[in-house]
Amino acid sequence: SKNYQDMERVAQVVEEGTKFMMGETTHMGEQGSDATFDPTTGGSDGYDGQDQDAIFDDMDGGSPLMGMADSVMSDIMSTQVGPETAKEHIQAFTAAITWDEPFIRFLIAFHVLVIVVAVTLSRKGGIYSRMGLMVFVGLIVRLAERLNAMGASRWREFSTQNYFDKNGIFMGITVCAPLLMVCLFMLVSMIREASNLLGDVTKMKMNSQVKQKQKKEQKQKKDDKKRKKKD
């Protein structure tokens, strides 16, 4: 397979580089018949001290071995395919979270509690209680950046892994997004209730106008009858 061939290339590059460094070859990929390694002097017959210094200087500046190895590794990494579609990104995100740890369970329970309170207040609560919950949600969203920084510095105290990255992706998806959805739900509920109330007021006004008109007509009829009797 391609990965197996890539691993063979890496092994071959490492072997050639080792021989080059030990002095067994004069160039990368060629065997040097006249250059042998002398264990007593730490060098080879074909190189003197200056040549060895030049070799290490070349390695510090950019070894050909490192260049070939980087090329091979880049070929290997190019074959690795990451998530591309939205569904794959969602699956990768959910797979990275440990759902059975206490911190995640507490976060889920908190959102469930907020949703229950929001639904209850939308049906039976007053305007001040709803506004209070919306202000509470807004404060949490406003402080999300600070909460993310605090979580990044103290995640070992309550979590098994650091969910709090620098960009705040975890906080944005798992904390802010559900709270903003709850706030949007309450806002839509209030607008709908205000619209219904406006409709009721309009109906009451129309009914009141109809009743007044009927009273005027009845009064006018009575007056007409009285005039006829006098005549």
Question: Burial, 157: exposed, middle or buried (Cβ in 10 Å; 0-12, 13-18, 19+)?
Answer: exposed
Helix (H, G, I), strand (E, B) or coil at 100: coil
Phi, psi of 169, deg, nearest 5: -65, -45
CA dist 69 → 1, 10, 14, 59, 204 (Å): 19, 6, 8, 13, 83
Q: What is the pTM of this model?
A: 0.54
Tell me the average pLDDT across 93-110. Answer: 89
pLDDT at res. 140 = 94
pLDDT at res. 37 = 42
Nearest to 83 by CA among 71, 75, 91, 94: 91
Tell me the average pLDDT across 11-18. Answer: 69
CA 150 to chain centre: 17
Q: Would you say residue 101 has pLDDT above 60? A: yes
